[in-house]
Amino acid sequence: MKNKPNRPFFLMILFYLLLSTPVVAQYQWSVPVSSLISNETKEHPQAFLWIPENCKQVRAVVIGQHNMTEETIFENPKFRKEMTKLDIAIVWVSPGFDMLFDFNKGAGEQFESIMNALAEESGYSELKFAPAIPIGHSAYATYPWNFAAWNPVRTLAVLSIHGDAPLTNLTGFGRPNMDWGKRNIDGVPGLMVEGEYEWLETRVQPALDFQQRFPDAPVSFLCDAGHGHFDISDELIDYLNLFIKKAVQYRLPSATALNKPVPLKPVDPRKGWLKERWQKDSKPNYSAASYSRYKGDRKDAFWYFDKEIASATEKFYAKVRGKKEQYLGFSQNGTLLPFNPKSHARIIGKFSPEADGLTFHVKSVFTDTLRTKSINDHAQSKPMISRICGPVAKINDTTFTVRFYRMGLNNEKRTGDIWLMASHPEDNKYKSSVQQFNMRIPLQNKEGIDQHLSFPAIQNVKQGINSISLKASSDSGMPVYFYVQEGPAEWKDGKLIFTKIPPRSKFPIKVTVVAWQYGRSVEPKIKSATPVVQSFYIFK
């Protein structure tokens, strides 16, 4: 006989369900990377495409692979709002298809096959030719530079986030970099970002050295002052938006064809601005100025498009300069978790869910410099916790719940990997503070009572319908959850809500919804159910 939750317990789960059904940013289309089998899933990676809903022609594509904060950036509302203004599409590939982007081993051809397939699937044929903005974080931060070296005439700009300089000898993935041979990225603007709390001079110097070797390559640098390796603040999003906006302004022609490559304008660093490199808590010795009027040592300065973004860089630095640092830790069940400076995560929590098998609690507190005890010498307001990546949603400041999403439930490396970020903004006295947190959950619950899902097929719908209800159940009596893998739809407040379809979309449009039930590891234990996938189509 199967054990079923009693009514109060079921109501508690329903309450959490209603509180924690976040709108995960949509991707209207996806295609498999058919030339590759991922070591992480033993299946083809999937390339997901988002096009702004009113976009008549895609002018460029930001492309990132699945590491960590790429998805944080791509799903940020401010980032998507700016990409909407600029008619820039987003492609996210999960799992990643080439960490190095080794163009000697077919990485370029894989990229082209992805874009060709997405062009065919979406109806936006210009994706076959659209300029690219490769973006990568940490272990994937080298690939954007190598992408640009592979095809500089198709690279609108480069974004290396908390990562690497071009041709660096200290790659984020820890292995030797590529040899470009006679290739270069002359005329292609690139941005390297490194956080103040992750600072390594040995990562920055190669960027300055690269400028000396390749004076025609415009390389910008931003110290993410008051921030670390894992966090993506709204301030950083604003800066990335401005950099991309400038790349569009200076490089894209006013009109482009749908059926041929875009003739990008090369950027001449000598027509831009220079700004002295960041120095911790020190005011610059020389003011930012146009290239010809800059009075400082150019070997210690980085290039910027113009006065506006050079000034924005100095403003970014000035807001935290000279302020006192504060430190954050995490606690569970009233106990401060240990801090290990030798680990990547620094702080690791234990998954101890409530009776629903999903909900857990964690709290952030101000600590001393060693993160060994809580203190009272800190800013007045409380720190907040947010999601970096992984299958998790926030209910409130101390309550979180497992929520799977389009990454899938079969990635042995990432499906069970939850990353959170504690943060506190700067004030008049203190710098902003950040601290990452990692928690592993089982890929599946393998002990206890079996459960099976029933998720009937979904009928095709016509364009213009606002929403539909989804019906699924488990023979365990536990509630069933959903996520949208692809399609112009969002799972919100218990319904599948359809979003506006971009005007040149190819019909019919496929929508794929996954029903899942994780089970629970507390008594009575219930095994994870096999997810059920249902696809249907939107017709005109």
The per-residue pLDDT for range 332-343, each reduced to its tens digit, is: 999 999 999 999
Q: How confident is the model at residue 375 (pLDDT cuts 50, 70, 90)?
A: confident
The structure's pTM equals 0.94
Model confidence over 228-239: pLDDT tens digits? 999 999 999 999
Mean pLDDT of 371-375: 89
CA distances to 276, 303, 314 from 298, in Å: 8, 9, 17
CA-CA-CA-CA torsion sign (38, 40, 45, 51) = negative
- According to the model, what pLDDT value does residue 21 have? 46
Report the SS3 class of residue 406.
coil
At 380 the pLDDT is 80
SS3 of 111, please? Answer: helix
At 18, the pLDDT band (50, 70, 90 cuts) reads: very low
Strand partners, 275: 302
To the nearest whole percent, how much of the chain has pLDDT over 90? 92
On whether the CB atoms of residues 362 and 420 are closer than 8 A, the answer is: yes
Pairing of strands 132-137, 88-94: unpaired
Kindly write down the DSSP assignment for every residue of 139-181, as one continuous string: GGSSHHHHHHHH-GGGB--EEEETS--TT-SS-TTSSPPPP-T
DSSP state of 430: B
For residues 404-416, average pLDDT: 95
Mean confidence (pLDDT) of the chain: 94
Amino acid 379: pLDDT = 79
- What is the pLDDT averaged over residues 70-96? 97
Confidence category of residue 494, pLDDT binned at 50, 70, 90: confident
Alpha-carbon gap, residue 63 to 45, rounded angstroms? 14
Q: What is the mean pLDDT of residues 44-67?
A: 98
Between 22 and 91, the higher pLDDT residue? 91
- Digit-coded pLDDT (tens) for 217-259: 999 999 999 999 999 999 999 999 999 999 999 999 999 999 9
To the nearest 10 degrees (0 to 180), the angle between helices 307-318 and 234-251 is 170
In this structure, what token pair is assigned to residue 411? 């990635």
**How confident is the model at residue 151, as a pLDDT?**
98
pLDDT score at 24: 66
- Note whether 524 and 9 are within 8 A (CB): no
Residue 452 has pLDDT above 60, yes or no: yes
Task: Give the span between the Cα atoms of 200 and 204, in whole angstroms.
Answer: 7
Q: What is the pLDDT of residues 454-467, one digit of tens each?
A: 999 999 999 999 99
> In which band, very low, low, confident or very high, does the pLDDT at 2 lie, cut at 50, 70 and 90?
very low
Diameter over CA atoms, the chain:
82
Residue listed under structure tokens 């059920």: 532
Share of the chain above pLDDT 70, in %: 96
The answer to whether 464 touches 5, Cβ cutoff 8 Å, is no
State the pairing for strand pair 392-394/461-462.
unpaired
Tell me: the pLDDT tens digits for 303-361? 999 999 999 999 999 999 999 999 999 999 999 999 999 999 999 999 999 999 999 99
Once rounded to an integer, what is the mean pLDDT over residues 278-299? Answer: 96
Residues 400-409 have pLDDT tens digits of: 999 999 999 9
Q: Which residue has the higher pLDDT, 370 or 63?
A: 63
CA distance 328 to 226: 13
Q: Please say if the pLDDT value at position 5 is more than 60.
A: no
Give the separation between CA 17 and CA 21, rounded to whole angstroms.
6
Confidence of residue 11 (pLDDT cuts 50, 70, 90): very low
The answer to whether residues 472 and 454 touch, using CB atoms and an 8 Å cutoff, is yes
Please report which confidence band the pLDDT of residue 7 belongs to, taking 50, 70 and 90 as the band edges. very low
